Protein backbone atom coordinates (compact mmCIF):
# COMPACT_ATOMS: atom_id res chain seq x y z
CA UNK A 1 0.00 0.00 0.00
CA UNK A 2 1.33 3.46 -0.90
CA UNK A 3 0.16 6.83 0.38
CA UNK A 4 -0.17 9.77 -2.00
CA UNK A 5 -1.32 13.06 -0.40
CA UNK A 6 -4.63 11.83 0.95
CA UNK A 7 -5.18 9.10 -1.62
CA UNK A 8 -4.39 5.46 -1.10
CA UNK A 9 -3.43 3.53 -4.22
CA UNK A 10 -3.45 -0.24 -4.07
CA UNK A 11 -1.35 -2.58 -6.16
CA UNK A 12 0.18 0.33 -8.04
CA UNK A 13 2.43 -2.06 -9.91
CA UNK A 14 -0.59 -3.72 -11.49
CA UNK A 15 -3.11 -2.29 -13.92
CA UNK A 16 -5.01 0.93 -13.57
CA UNK A 17 -7.84 0.65 -11.05
CA UNK A 18 -11.14 -0.65 -12.40
CA UNK A 19 -13.11 0.41 -9.33
CA UNK A 20 -12.84 3.50 -7.16
CA UNK A 21 -14.04 3.56 -3.58
CA UNK A 22 -14.52 7.15 -2.44
CA UNK A 23 -15.83 8.45 0.86
CA UNK A 24 -16.87 11.78 2.29
CA UNK A 25 -14.68 11.41 5.37
CA UNK A 26 -12.15 9.04 6.88
CA UNK A 27 -14.85 8.31 9.47
CA UNK A 28 -16.61 6.33 6.68
CA UNK A 29 -13.65 4.05 5.99
CA UNK A 30 -14.40 1.34 8.55
CA UNK A 31 -17.88 0.92 7.05
CA UNK A 32 -16.52 0.60 3.52
CA UNK A 33 -13.65 -1.71 4.49
CA UNK A 34 -15.57 -5.02 4.04
CA UNK A 35 -16.29 -4.00 0.43
CA UNK A 36 -12.68 -2.94 -0.13
CA UNK A 37 -11.49 -6.26 1.29
CA UNK A 38 -13.73 -8.38 -0.92
CA UNK A 39 -12.52 -6.50 -4.01
CA UNK A 40 -8.92 -7.09 -2.92
CA UNK A 41 -9.70 -10.77 -2.28
CA UNK A 42 -11.08 -10.95 -5.83
CA UNK A 43 -7.79 -9.43 -7.05
CA UNK A 44 -9.51 -6.41 -8.57
CA UNK A 45 -7.41 -3.27 -8.84
CA UNK A 46 -8.99 -0.47 -6.86
CA UNK A 47 -8.38 3.12 -5.90
CA UNK A 48 -9.49 4.33 -2.47
CA UNK A 49 -9.74 7.99 -1.57
CA UNK A 50 -11.34 10.57 0.68
CA UNK A 51 -13.37 12.99 -1.38
CA UNK A 52 -16.01 15.25 0.05
CA UNK A 53 -18.80 16.87 -1.98
CA UNK A 54 -18.89 19.71 0.54
CA UNK A 55 -15.35 20.02 1.86
CA UNK A 56 -13.45 19.32 -1.39
CA UNK A 57 -15.98 20.09 -4.14
CA UNK A 58 -13.43 20.99 -6.82
CA UNK A 59 -11.48 17.77 -6.29
CA UNK A 60 -14.75 15.82 -6.48
CA UNK A 61 -15.57 17.44 -9.83
CA UNK A 62 -12.08 16.73 -11.14
CA UNK A 63 -12.27 13.09 -10.02
CA UNK A 64 -15.71 12.48 -11.52
CA UNK A 65 -15.02 14.20 -14.83
CA UNK A 66 -11.75 12.26 -15.32
CA UNK A 67 -13.04 8.91 -14.05
CA UNK A 68 -13.94 7.43 -17.42
CA UNK A 69 -10.70 8.49 -19.06
CA UNK A 70 -8.78 6.88 -16.18
CA UNK A 71 -10.43 3.58 -17.02
CA UNK A 72 -12.72 3.31 -14.00
CA UNK A 73 -15.68 1.00 -14.58
CA UNK A 74 -17.59 1.41 -11.31
CA UNK A 75 -17.49 3.98 -8.53
CA UNK A 76 -18.51 3.17 -4.96
CA UNK A 77 -19.26 6.32 -2.97
CA UNK A 78 -19.96 6.27 0.76
CA UNK A 79 -21.30 9.29 2.59
CA UNK A 80 -23.24 10.13 5.71
CA UNK A 81 -25.72 12.80 6.76
CA UNK A 82 -26.33 15.26 3.92
CA UNK A 83 -24.85 12.58 1.70
CA UNK A 84 -24.46 14.33 -1.64
CA UNK A 85 -21.24 12.66 -2.80
CA UNK A 86 -22.69 9.68 -4.74
CA UNK A 87 -25.35 11.76 -6.47
CA UNK A 88 -23.00 14.58 -7.39
CA UNK A 89 -20.45 12.14 -8.82
CA UNK A 90 -23.24 10.40 -10.76
CA UNK A 91 -24.27 13.77 -12.20
CA UNK A 92 -20.77 14.22 -13.64
CA UNK A 93 -20.16 10.77 -15.17
CA UNK A 94 -22.14 7.93 -16.73
CA UNK A 95 -19.99 5.29 -15.01
CA UNK A 96 -22.28 3.32 -12.65
CA UNK A 97 -22.21 4.77 -9.13
CA UNK A 98 -23.04 2.67 -6.08
CA UNK A 99 -23.99 4.73 -3.03
CA UNK A 100 -23.38 3.53 0.51
CA UNK A 101 -25.43 5.39 3.14
CA UNK A 102 -23.30 5.64 6.26
CA UNK A 103 -25.01 5.24 9.63
CA UNK A 104 -25.05 8.53 11.53
CA UNK A 105 -25.20 9.16 15.28
CA UNK A 106 -28.05 11.65 15.08
CA UNK A 107 -30.46 9.99 12.63
CA UNK A 108 -29.06 6.42 12.39
CA UNK A 109 -28.26 6.80 8.68
CA UNK A 110 -31.85 7.36 7.53
CA UNK A 111 -30.70 10.86 6.55
CA UNK A 112 -27.84 9.37 4.49
CA UNK A 113 -30.13 6.77 2.93
CA UNK A 114 -32.75 9.27 1.74
CA UNK A 115 -30.06 11.66 0.50
CA UNK A 116 -28.54 8.92 -1.67
CA UNK A 117 -31.68 7.01 -2.59
CA UNK A 118 -33.98 9.80 -3.71
CA UNK A 119 -32.17 10.77 -6.90
CA UNK A 120 -34.06 12.69 -9.56
CA UNK A 121 -35.06 10.84 -12.72
CA UNK A 122 -32.21 10.80 -15.21
CA UNK A 123 -29.30 10.46 -12.76
CA UNK A 124 -29.37 7.01 -11.13
CA UNK A 125 -27.38 5.88 -8.10
CA UNK A 126 -27.56 2.21 -7.10
CA UNK A 127 -28.10 2.46 -3.35
CA UNK A 128 -27.19 -0.38 -0.98
CA UNK A 129 -28.37 -0.73 2.63
CA UNK A 130 -27.30 1.61 5.42
CA UNK A 131 -23.70 0.57 6.20
CA UNK A 132 -23.84 -1.86 3.26
CA UNK A 133 -20.11 -1.73 2.60
CA UNK A 134 -19.76 -5.42 1.76
CA UNK A 135 -22.66 -5.43 -0.70
CA UNK A 136 -21.28 -2.35 -2.44
CA UNK A 137 -18.07 -4.28 -3.17
CA UNK A 138 -19.97 -7.36 -4.30
CA UNK A 139 -22.27 -5.35 -6.56
CA UNK A 140 -19.30 -3.56 -8.12
CA UNK A 141 -17.66 -6.95 -8.73
CA UNK A 142 -20.88 -8.25 -10.31
CA UNK A 143 -20.86 -5.33 -12.74
CA UNK A 144 -17.24 -6.12 -13.70
CA UNK A 145 -18.16 -9.81 -13.90
CA UNK A 146 -20.42 -9.06 -16.87
CA UNK A 147 -17.32 -8.94 -19.06
CA UNK A 148 -14.53 -10.31 -16.84
CA UNK A 149 -14.84 -14.09 -16.55
CA UNK A 150 -12.22 -14.35 -13.77
CA UNK A 151 -14.20 -12.01 -11.55
CA UNK A 152 -17.37 -13.93 -12.42
CA UNK A 153 -15.72 -17.20 -11.33
CA UNK A 154 -14.70 -15.67 -8.00
CA UNK A 155 -18.25 -14.46 -7.42
CA UNK A 156 -19.60 -17.92 -8.21
CA UNK A 157 -17.18 -19.48 -5.74
CA UNK A 158 -18.07 -16.87 -3.09
CA UNK A 159 -21.76 -17.79 -3.40
CA UNK A 160 -20.95 -21.51 -3.35
CA UNK A 161 -19.02 -21.12 -0.09
CA UNK A 162 -21.80 -19.03 1.44
CA UNK A 163 -24.32 -21.68 0.44
CA UNK A 164 -22.20 -24.47 1.95
CA UNK A 165 -21.90 -22.57 5.24
CA UNK A 166 -25.66 -22.21 5.62
CA UNK A 167 -26.24 -25.88 4.73
CA UNK A 168 -23.68 -26.87 7.38
CA UNK A 169 -25.28 -24.57 9.99
CA UNK A 170 -28.68 -26.08 9.30
CA UNK A 171 -27.28 -29.61 9.64
CA UNK A 172 -25.68 -28.68 12.99
CA UNK A 173 -28.98 -27.18 14.14
CA UNK A 174 -30.87 -30.35 13.23
CA UNK A 175 -28.23 -32.55 14.92
CA UNK A 176 -27.80 -30.53 18.09
CA UNK A 177 -31.24 -29.02 18.70
CA UNK A 178 -31.94 -25.38 19.37
CA UNK A 179 -30.69 -25.14 22.97
CA UNK A 180 -27.30 -26.73 22.33
CA UNK A 181 -26.88 -24.80 19.10
CA UNK A 182 -27.55 -21.50 20.88
CA UNK A 183 -25.06 -22.48 23.59
CA UNK A 184 -22.36 -23.17 20.99
CA UNK A 185 -23.00 -19.85 19.25
CA UNK A 186 -22.82 -18.02 22.59
CA UNK A 187 -19.60 -19.80 23.63
CA UNK A 188 -17.93 -19.06 20.29
CA UNK A 189 -18.40 -15.28 20.77
C1 LIG B 1 -20.04 13.23 5.40
O2 LIG B 1 -20.14 13.71 6.68
C3 LIG B 1 -19.12 12.06 5.48
O4 LIG B 1 -19.42 11.14 4.48
C5 LIG B 1 -19.33 11.51 6.86
O6 LIG B 1 -20.14 10.36 6.87
C7 LIG B 1 -20.03 12.65 7.58
C8 LIG B 1 -19.31 13.10 8.84
O9 LIG B 1 -17.98 13.43 8.52
P10 LIG B 1 -16.92 13.71 9.68
O11 LIG B 1 -17.45 14.86 10.46
O12 LIG B 1 -16.84 12.45 10.50
O13 LIG B 1 -15.62 14.01 8.99
O14 LIG B 1 -19.55 14.16 4.50
Give the pLDDT score at 14: 56
pLDDT tens digits for 108-149? 999 999 999 999 999 999 999 999 999 999 999 999 999 999
Q: What is the pTM of this model?
A: 0.91
- Quick one: pLDDT at residue 15? 73
Whether 101 is in the pocket of ligand 1, judged by its Cβ within 6 Å, is: no
pLDDT value of position 184: 94
Q: What are phi and psi of 99, to 5 degrees?
A: -100, 135
Give the dihedral of Cα atoms 163, 169, 172, 174; nearest 10 deg: -80
pLDDT of residue 11: 45
| pLDDT tens over the chain, length 189 residues | 333 344 544 444 457 899 999 999 999 999 999 999 999 999 999 999 999 999 999 999 999 999 999 999 999 999 999 999 999 999 999 999 999 999 999 999 999 999 999 999 999 999 999 999 999 999 999 999 999 999 999 999 999 999 999 999 999 999 999 999 999 999 988
Instruction: Phi first, then psi: give them for residue 47, nearest 5 degrees.
Output: -120, 135
Q: Report pLDDT for 74.
A: 98
Find, among 73, 46, 79, the residue nearest to 60 by Cα.
Answer: 79
**For ligand 1, atom 6: residue with the closest CA:** 80
Query: Ligand 1 centroid vs 135 CA: distance in angstroms?
Result: 20
Distance from residue 87's CA to the centre of ligand 1 (Å): 16
At 2-12, the pLDDT tens digits run 333 445 444 44
- Cβ-in-10-Å burial (0-12, 13-18, 19+) of 90 comes to buried
From 21, 22, 24, 89, the mutation candidate for ligand 1 (largest count of ligand atoms within 8 A of CB) is 24
Q: Is the torsion defined by CA of 59, 60, 61, 65 positive or negative? A: positive
Do the Cβ atoms of 46 and 36 come closer than 8 Å?
Answer: yes
| Strands lying side by side in the sheet with 7-9 | 2-4, 7-9, 46-50, 19-23, 74-80, 97-102, 126-127
Ligand 1 midpoint to CA 25 (Å): 5
Specify the residue with its C-alpha closest to ligand 1, atom 14: 24
Amino acid sequence: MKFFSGNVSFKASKQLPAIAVVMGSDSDLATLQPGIKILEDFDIDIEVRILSAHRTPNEMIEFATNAEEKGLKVIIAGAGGAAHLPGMIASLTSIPVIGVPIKTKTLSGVDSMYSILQMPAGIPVATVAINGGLNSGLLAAEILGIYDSQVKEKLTLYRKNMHAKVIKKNKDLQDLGTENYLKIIKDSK
